[in-house]
Chains A and B, each alone.
Chain A
Amino acid sequence: MNEPLQKSIHKHYQVWLSSLVNRLGGERLRLGLARILYKLQIEEDLSIPAKGGCLVAFNHVSDAADTIVYLVIQHYRPDVFLFVWNLNRDIISSFLRTTGLARSAERLILTDMRLTQNANELLRARQVLLDGGCVAIAPEGETTWDGRLQSPLAPGAAWLGLHTAVPIIPIISRGGYDVQPLWWREKIRLTGRIQIRAGQPLVLCDHPLEKVTEFQLQAASQRLWQVLSELINR
């Protein structure tokens, strides 16, 4: 079978499957499937505040694992916004279908690879946090190629943390790499073992900072990386 035909069949199958899941049970069914297929374990002390501004930072392992993490965050905070690179329209719409978010695309904060173009979206995320909302972000910026936490982190999470002083909830997933590694992204394994755990909230400063220096950004990013890294290796 040639590749374009295979991709087209895969896409239609994905659309059909996600609409079926939406009709049958939506988020609850998705998490249930994750528990059955991937033996999903969520640590009991996963504490995402139900109210108030918070930034959830999670590691970027694979589409499948990240989607499950996002569903878990959404379970605790239905008002969560997702901070994501605007890479490709097909990829974004595929993600929206998988997570059942297709009707709430306004909850995406789409950022651009032209870094200077991101001011509006960064300010929008900052306002969401200052208004007591929740923003989920993968501070590595891109999915890992080799399964490890990438360094240095992209500056977005630290920038938001310093400009809002909201707690950053570090969340990591383990075991998602072999389900769908980036180098074999086309194939999602239907078995696996995924664990999700959260660390203690990290507050980068006592009050929102008006101006942030490059040094402060780097130091805050490094601190966040350290927290995520310790959580993965715990």
Chain B
Amino acid sequence: MIQDLLWRCPLCASNDVLKHNRHWLYPDTVDCTACGAQWRVRRVVGDNYYLKVTHAGKSATTVQPGLEQSITSWYDLMKQTIHLVDRPESSNLLEAGEKLYLASGQATLWTELQLAIPITEKHSPAIAGSSPLSFTNPSVTAAEAGLIGTGRLFLTNRRMIWRQSAKGRRPPLPVDFQTFTFPLQQVNGIYAILNLGLLLVVGMQLYTLRFAQESPLKWVTYTALLAPQVQVESGHRIRTSHY
């Protein structure tokens, strides 16, 4: 849906606030739950989708109702509003000097069925804690070996962190396995798997994240903005999908 592309309101610059409403008898609409703006969606066959502002909401000072642009132009406008801004985090997640840029809602973490570096549950939690490559979940059955669990994903200026949440259909992981840390200097690539999820290449290991609500494009965009900073600091290059 449109919120997969426009994951941020191009008018009020709030993340994850657009909602695409489908209608059978009249044109689809898009609402911003933050500023109250509303667009009408029009498809031009053989060309593109066009969004026309029908209500400007609190963004009336920046845009007038009636303005119609292609979704590509709205996307360009949205991209102009994106900056890396650290957000407050009350938990004990961050280390000293670390800045949090993004925190997801519910996200399931998956790994490959065939691990590049097979590690069994006999390995000590200390090893498992030191590297995401050396993880196995003892409670995982063979049939669902790829699924690690449900939790939240965080992006900081140094790491991507996935932390298991109490909710979810899987039993809680042992304490040592409840947090996965992917230092950005070990992340080789972050790609959107179409609009389905996010693929992380950490060392030689592949991880997949599927979000309940969010667009993988948002995570690709933020990581791509962060990648030059990582390259300057460490010389390590993170490849990302186009955004």
By a beta-carbon cutoff of 8 Å, the part of chain A in contact with chain B is: 87-88, 91, 113-117, 140-148, 150-151, 174-175, 177-178, 181-185, 189, 191-195
Contacts and interface: CB of A to CB of B under 8 A. Distances in A.
Q: Chain A: interface secondary structure?
A: loop
B204 interface: yes
A146 B193 contact: no
Nearest to A116: B204
A182 B49 CA distance: 12
Nearest to B193: A87
24 contacts: A113-B199, A113-B201, A113-B206, A114-B188, A114-B189, A114-B201, A114-B206, A117-B204, A140-B242, A142-B192, A144-B242, A145-B242, A146-B71, A146-B76, A148-B72, A178-B47, A183-B5, A183-B217, A184-B1, A184-B2, A184-B4, A192-B45, A193-B46, A194-B46
Nearest to B203: A114
Contact of B5 (A140, A145, A192): A145
Contacts of A195: 46
Contacts of A182: 4-5, 194-195
B193 A88 contact: yes
B196 interface: yes
B116 to A, nearest CB: 8
A226 B108 CA distance: 40
Interface string B31-55: 0000000000001111111000000
A62 to B, nearest CB: 10
Contacts of B199: 87, 113
B46 A147 contact: no
A181 B194 CA distance: 10
A88 B43 CA distance: 30
B5 A193 contact: no
Nearest to B189: A113
A145 B45 contact: no
Given A181-B49, A193-B45, A146 B75 contact: yes
B114 to A, nearest CB: 12
A61 to B, nearest CB: 11
A157 to B, nearest CB: 15
A185 B75 contact: no
A162 B43 CA distance: 41
B174 to A, nearest CB: 28
B180 interface: no
B219 interface: no
A144 B199 CA distance: 17
Contact of B195 (A147, A150, A185): A185
B47 A175 contact: yes
